[in-house]
């Protein structure tokens, strides 16, 4: 399709890069400039529209600090973080010599999460939650051999939509813990059935969601990191099949394989629900393609 605009312009901008540009940066900037220019031409972007985008980005930067990354959230609501997660995971999986899969932890991970004993209860001071007995086995994804001494770390928001570090009314390290698998590779503990919550929507990401006629909610989920010597660390989130936001996560993180079922549990005074989730780990020197 012939352009109505100067056909040499984009090439000139790309070719302005000098010889000392690193090969990867040259590749990325070439692609970025080409796509940004194509976007502007295809949609005949006006000065006012472009300037509105500039102001949105400047607003995101002004709002960001050590506790909040609004630029990241802007990317999240257009699916970019989840897409990059998929790309990175696939690359790491395909590269047999990759020491670990790159992991997206999300903003509420804490490096100093305490170890707890299997059977412990993660929940303190939450009146309106549905108590759940979560358990499972950590195994080698191929041989199904149980992995003894694996670490399973979990964290979740409370029923008010807040993680403990966001909420002065929760005790330190509430709703998070690390568990070590037993002689059969099993872990088990009590937690909440997770509940949906909105991403912060008082900034440019919220404004963009509103303009796109979208809600800010994430479906209920539990964060998991599993590690074991000789295996690739696994970072993931699991989602409640019955959540109303399952098919329209505001940050597009749901994958079919990450949907789980909370089922009724009988004869347990501590929990009315049960969740079984087995973690299948990939040896460091293998690919999970199968």
Q: Which of residues 62-91 bind its own copies (CB under 8 A)?
A: 62-64, 69-72, 75, 78-88, 90-91
> Which of 2, 7, 60, 219 forms a contact with its own copies (CB under 8 A)?
60
Q: Is 214 in the site for its own copies (CB under 8 A)?
A: yes
CA distances from 111 to 65, 149, 176 (A): 19, 19, 11
Query: Judged by CB, which is closer to its own copies: 101, or 275?
Result: 101
Q: Closest CB to its own copies among 185 and 196?
A: 196
Interface with its own copies, residue 49, by CB under 8 A? yes
Q: Which CB sits closer to its own copies, 27 or 160? A: 27
Residues 6+ apart with CB under 8 A from 234: 101, 224, 225, 226, 227, 279, 281, 282
Q: Using CB under 8 A, which of 50, 99, 117, 119 touches its own copies?
A: 50
- Piece of 26-34, 126-134, 165-173, 280-288 that binds its own copies (CB under 8 A): 26-34
Q: Is residue 259 a contact point for its own copies (CB under 8 A)?
A: no
**What is the footprint of its own copies within residues 91-150 (CB under 8 A)?**
91, 102, 104
The stretch near its own copies (CB under 8 A) out of 42-50, 115-123, 138-146, 174-182 is 42-50
Interaction residues for its own copies, span 227-256 (CB under 8 A)? 248, 252
Neighbours of 219 (CB within 10 A): 25
Question: Rounded CA gap, 14 and 203, in Å?
Answer: 33
Q: Out of 31, 99, 114, 230, name the contact with its own copies by CB under 8 A.
A: 31
The CA-CA-CA angle for residues 159, 162, 167, to 5°, reads: 115
Taking contact as CB under 8 A, which single stretch among the options 13-21, 121-129, 188-196, 238-246 is the one that binds its own copies? 13-21
Query: Which residues contact residue 146 at a Cβ distance below 8 angstroms, ignoring those fewer than 6 apart?
Result: 137, 138, 139, 181, 184, 185, 186
Q: Which DSSP letter does residue 165 get? A: G
Q: Which two tokens stand for residue 135?
A: 């358990």
Piece in contact with its own copies (CB under 8 A), picked from 56-64, 140-148, 173-181, 236-244: 56-64
- The CA distance from 132 to 146, in Å, is 23
d(CA 118, CA 135): 9
One residue of 1, 20, 229, 269 binding its own copies per CB under 8 A: 20
Nearer to its own copies, 57 or 263 (CB): 57
CA atoms within 13 A on the CB side of 228: 24
226, 191 in Cβ contact below 8 A?
no
């Amino acid at each position: 399709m012939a352009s109505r605009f100067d056909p040499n312009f984009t090439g000139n901008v790309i070719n302005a890069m000098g010889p000392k540009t690193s090969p990867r940066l040259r590749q990325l900037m070439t692609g970025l400039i080409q796509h940004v220019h194509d976007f502007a031409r295809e949609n005949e972007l006006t000065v006012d529209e472009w300037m509105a985008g500039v102001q949105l980005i400047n607003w995101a930067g002004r709002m960001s600090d050590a506790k909040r990354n609004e630029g990241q959230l802007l990317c999240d609501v257009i699916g970019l973080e989840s897409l990059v997660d998929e790309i990175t995971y696939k690359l790491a999986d395909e590269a047999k010599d990759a020491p670990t899969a790159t992991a997206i932890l999300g903003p509420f991970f804490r490096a100093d999460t305490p170890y707890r004993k299997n059977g412990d209860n993660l929940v303190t001071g939450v009146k309106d939650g549905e108590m759940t007995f979560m358990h499972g086995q950590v195994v080698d994804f191929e041989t199904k051999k149980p992995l003894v001494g694996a670490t399973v770390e979990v964290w979740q928001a409370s029923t008010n939509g807040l993680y403990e570090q966001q909420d002065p009314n929760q005790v330190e390290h509430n709703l998070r813990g690390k568990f070590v698998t037993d002689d059969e590779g099993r872990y088990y503990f009590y937690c909440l059935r997770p509940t949906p919550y909105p991403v912060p929507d008082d900034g440019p990401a919220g404004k963009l969601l509103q303009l796109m006629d979208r809600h800010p909610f994430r479906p209920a989920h539990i964060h998991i990191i599993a590690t074991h010597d000789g295996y690739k660390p696994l970072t993931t989130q699991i989602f409640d099949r019955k959540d109303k936001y399952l098919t329209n996560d505001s940050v597009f993180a749901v994958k079919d394989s990450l949907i789980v079922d909370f089922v009724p549990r009988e004869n347990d005074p501590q929990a009315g629900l049960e969740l079984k989730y087995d973690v299948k780990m990939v040896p460091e020197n293998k690919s999970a393609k199968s």
